[in-house]
Amino acid sequence: FYIRRKRLDNLPLPPGPKGYPIIGNIFDMPQAYAWITYSKWAKKYGDVMHIRVLGNSTIILNSLKAAMELLDKRSSNYSDRPRMVMASELMDWGWDFAHMNYADDWRRHRRRFHQYFQPRNLQTFYPIQKKFTVNLLEQLLKTPDKFQDHIKQHVSSIVLNAGYGYEVEAENDFYIALVHKAVQPLLHVVHAGNYLVDYIPALKHIPSEISSLDFQVMTRETLQFRSLTSEIGWFPGAKFKTDAAIWAVDIRNLVDIPFEMVKKDISKGVAKRSFVYDSLDKLKTDGVEDRYEEEIIKNCAGMTTTLMQAWILAMANYPEVQNKAQAEIDKVVGRNRLPDFNDRPSMPFVEAMLQEAMRWGLVTPLALPHRVIREDVYEGYRIPAGATVVANVWAILHDKDLYPEPFKFEPERFMTGGGGTQVALDPGVAGGFGYGRRICPGRYLATNTAWLAMASILSAFDILKAIDANGNVIEPVVEFTDGLNSHPKPYEVRFAPRSSDTKNFIDTSKLEVSTVSAQSL
């Protein structure tokens, strides 16, 4: 043991920016678009880098090889999550199993979640997916300029329906607003990592600015958010605690309100089958307290929306790709009905287009951070126990050795005979959904929701560049935001029905799916 210990101690940490004593690399930490800074650093320091802030080590992986070797092959040692004091302990997001430590509690939640969202169970969601996809087409026909809202509503409807049996309202849905209010601060906190308390956890004990909380209970009927109505007291530097306490209220609302709604519906005998319904049912039979595990699915609706937004942007900028996909859809499906899941294996180009949308418009450029449990060695470098491990998925999916001309939207790279010497690796495997035992368990629902929406939109509409009042074409900007969930910056496009028959075609499909979903639900 002594010899092994000595050998490990003599190994260097991976290279990285030098930093200062005690504070380490605090001044090197990127303020925005960290994935771009990490890619630049990788040119100097190599694929595996080390940074230290106030004694906390972070290992950044910039290549597929390193990410696969550590996060995938050595997954049993790399599947813990770093302690997130601000998010999990002060803002009360700890119940969310995406934040849980790699332990029995996480395993139990993950198993339950996987059972419900695994590929074998996906057919359960087909009727609602079809129903909401036809709704989407109908809305795009009526108010095409509100396409961003329609996409958001479409994805949220499916995810919330699968989770709660909850029917999203056409506009200004109460619950969507609730999700937005609670999730936005989380995205900021987890991504930015700029709260000192995350580096020095003891700070969480300093007295809070808030000395009394006064809650108003919100109900769906009154449409009022439960809020903090009195903030008194003061302590220097404790602003983060006030922020956390205020955000925590929204987060509790997010957890409690829909759950109570389902329970109420069950007691009235009007609840629809959903993940919460099944979990409550299990609760009765197993006697296991699992009330919060379903929450994560709502946060994830946003990710699928982002994927769709990036794809629409790509369609407007790459009309030749759109034409090719439409030709394939017309050949396989014809012009009298909408695409269905049975058509999916016969449409390799549409499949490749979905993969390219995941890569080109990458939703989570740094995935979620992992934590290494035991000390390890990689290519002669020491990986310290407890270090946070971040995969730069953006760098991997834009690596020109894996994906030549990485900024071009080119589905052919995923097809045999597509022009390249070999078929490019599926971005979902390369890191688009994370890695190892923590890989996104909602990926099947997300991708088949997106597939049906993409194929259906292209069968009914052309996605075109917008035109200004003087008849000039407005070029849609291809720029993505910073953040845990990176999405396209605002852009304009037009949805033009492909023929004068589109309305009839959508009306007929609506009739068909409403009969089918009424039977299946």
Show the binding pattern over residues 247-276: x = contacts ligand HEM (CB under 6 A), - = does not.
------------------------------
| Selected range binding ligand HEM among 394-402, 417-425, 430-438, 467-475, rule: CB under 6 A | 430-438
- Quick check: 445 binds ligand HEM (CB under 6 A)? yes
Question: Shortest gap between Cβ of 300 and ligand HEM (angstroms)?
Answer: 3
Other CB atoms within a 10 A radius of the CB of residue 70 amount to: 24
Q: Say if CB 501 and CB 459 are below 8 A apart.
A: no
Question: Shortest gap between Cβ of 305 and ligand HEM (angstroms)?
Answer: 8
Task: Determine if residue 300 is labeled as part of a ligand binding site.
Answer: no
- Quick check: 364 binds ligand HEM (CB under 6 A)? yes
Report how far residue 37's alpha carbon sits from residue 481's, in angstroms, rounded to the nearest whole number: 15
Q: Hey, which residues does 57 pair with through a beta bridge? A: 52
| Selected range binding ligand HEM among 173-181, 225-233, 335-343, 432-440, rule: CB under 6 A | 432-440
SS3 (DSSP) at 63: coil
Pick 394 or 403: Cβ nearer ligand HEM? 394
- Quick check: 435 binds ligand HEM (CB under 6 A)? yes
Of the candidates 125, 132, 433, 505, which one interacts with ligand HEM according to CB under 6 A?
A: 433
**Number of residues lying near ligand HEM (CB under 6 A):** 27
Show the binding pattern over residues 283-312: x = contacts ligand HEM (CB under 6 A), - = does not.
-------------xx--x--xx--x-----
Contact positions with ligand HEM (CB under 6 A) in 82-121? 97-98, 110, 113, 117
Q: Say if CB 429 and CB 130 are below 8 A apart.
A: no
Of the candidates 60, 64, 128, 159, which one interacts with ligand HEM according to CB under 6 A?
A: 159
Report how far residue 305's alpha carbon sits from residue 456's, in angstroms, rounded to the nearest whole number: 16
The contacts of residue 270 (CB under 8 Å, 6+ apart) are none
Termini Cα distance of the chain = 60
In single-letter form, the type of residue at position 55 comes to: G
Tokens of 150: 């329609």
Tokens of 490: 């605002």
SS3 (DSSP) at 60: strand
Tokens of 203: 């700070």
Report the phi/psi class of residue 481: left, alpha or beta, with left for phi > 0 and alpha for psi in -120 to 50. Answer: beta
Taking only Cα atoms into account, the Rg of the chain, rounded to an integer number of angstroms, comes to 24
Of the candidates 434, 476, 483, 488, which one interacts with ligand HEM according to CB under 6 A?
A: 434
Pick 210 or 363: Cβ nearer ligand HEM? 363
> In terms of C-beta density within 10 A (0-12 exposed, 13-18 middle, 19 or more buried), how is residue 142 classed?
exposed
Question: Shortest gap between Cβ of 187 and ligand HEM (angstroms)?
Answer: 13
Q: Say if CB 277 and CB 261 are below 8 A apart.
A: no
Question: Shortest gap between Cβ of 444 and ligand HEM (angstroms)?
Answer: 9
Question: Shortest gap between Cβ of 293 and ligand HEM (angstroms)?
Answer: 8
- Quick check: 191 binds ligand HEM (CB under 6 A)? no
- Point out the annotated binding site for heme: 440
Residues that bind ligand HEM (CB under 6 A): 97-98, 110, 113, 117, 159, 296-297, 300, 303-304, 307, 363-364, 367-368, 432-435, 438-442, 445-446
